[in-house]
């Protein structure tokens, strides 16, 4: 997860319906490009 906030990722995967893997993947890509933990 490249240091992404684990709780936030878990919550998104648990609570977000639909195509959640793609959504979470997009957020993780943005985080890897330099977004802060607070943004995530």
Q: Tell if the pTM clears 0.85, that is, is over it.
A: no
Residues 6+ apart with CB under 8 A from 2: 28, 31, 32
Q: How many residues does the chain have?
A: 40
Domain ranges of the chain: 1-32
Name which of 12, 4, 1 is nearest 35 in CA terms: 4
The pLDDT confidence band at residue 13, using thresholds 50, 70 and 90, is: confident
Contact in structure between 37 and 13 (CB atoms under 8 Å): no
Rg value, the chain, Cα: 10
- Cα maximum dimension of the chain: 26
**Which pLDDT value is given to residue 18?**
67
Per-residue pLDDT reduced to its tens digit, 25-35 = 888 899 889 88
């Amino acid at each position: 997860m490249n240091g992404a906030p684990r709780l936030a990722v878990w919550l998104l995967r648990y609570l977000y319906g639909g195509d959640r893997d793609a959504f979470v993947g997009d957020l993780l890509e943005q985080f890897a490009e330099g977004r802060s933990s607070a943004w995530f």
